[in-house]
Structure 1
Amino acid sequence: MKTMVRVYLPVTPADLEALSETNRLPGERQDAYAVTEKVRRDQPTEDPEVLEFGALQDAAMASGASSDRILVAAADMHPGVVREPDEGIETAVSVEGIVELQRVVSLHLGDPGDDGTGDDDVELSWYDVTELDQVRAELG
Structure 2
Amino acid sequence: MTTVRCYVPLSPGQLETLRTERRLAGPLAATAVTAAVRGALPTGDAEEWEYAALQEAAAGQASGGAPVILAAVDLTEDRVDLQDGGEDASVTVGDVDLPRVAALHVGDDVVTGGAVSLPSAGEELELSWYDTTEIGHVVELARALGPRSDPGA
| Separation in structure 2 between the aligned mates of residue 17 and residue 42 of structure 1, nearest angstrom | 35
Distance 1:110 1:22 in 2: 24
Match of 1:64 in 2: 62
Distance 1:43 1:118, change over 3 A: closer
Displacement of 1:88: 4.5
Q: Tell me how far apart the structure 1 counterparts of residues 128 and 40 of structure 2 sit (CA, whole Å).
A: 29
Corresponding residue for residue 13 of structure 1: 12
Per-residue deviation, 1:44: 4.4
Does 2:132 match 1:129?
yes
* 1:107 is aligned to 2:108: no
TM-score (norm 1): 0.87
Gaps of 5+ in 2: 110-114, 145-153
Percent identity over paired residues: 39
Residues 132 and 122 (structure 1 numbering): CA distance in 2 closer, same or farther, change over 3 Å?
Answer: same
Q: Deviations over 1:36-64 (max 9, x none)?
A: 13433554431211110000001101222
**Contact residue 35 and residue 91 of structure 1 kept, 8 A:** yes
For the residue of structure 1 that corresponds to 2:96, the secondary structure is: coil
Q: Answer whether contact 1:57 1:121 (CA < 8 A) is retained.
A: yes
Whether the aligned pair in 2 keeps the contact of 1:12 and 1:67 (CA below 8 Å) is no
Q: Select between 65-74 and 102-111 the one with higher mean Cα deviation.
A: 65-74
Following superposition, the deviation at residue 86 of structure 1 comes to 4.8
> Conserved in 2, the CA contact under 8 Å of 1:69 and 1:111?
no
1:1-140, aligned counterparts within 5 Å?
2-25=1-24, 27-40=25-38, 43-86=41-84, 88-95=86-93, 97-112=94-109, 113-115=115-117, 117-119=118-120, 120-139=123-142, 140=144
Q: What is the aligned length?
A: 136
- Listed one character per residue, the Cα deviations across residues 73-95 of structure 1 (whole Å, up to 9, x for unaligned) are 10000101111225544211111
Contact 1:33 1:59 in 2 (8 A): yes
SS of 2:124's equivalent? Answer: coil
CA RMSD of aligned residues (A): 1.8
| Equivalent-residue separation in structure 1 for 2:66 and 2:8 (angstroms) | 16
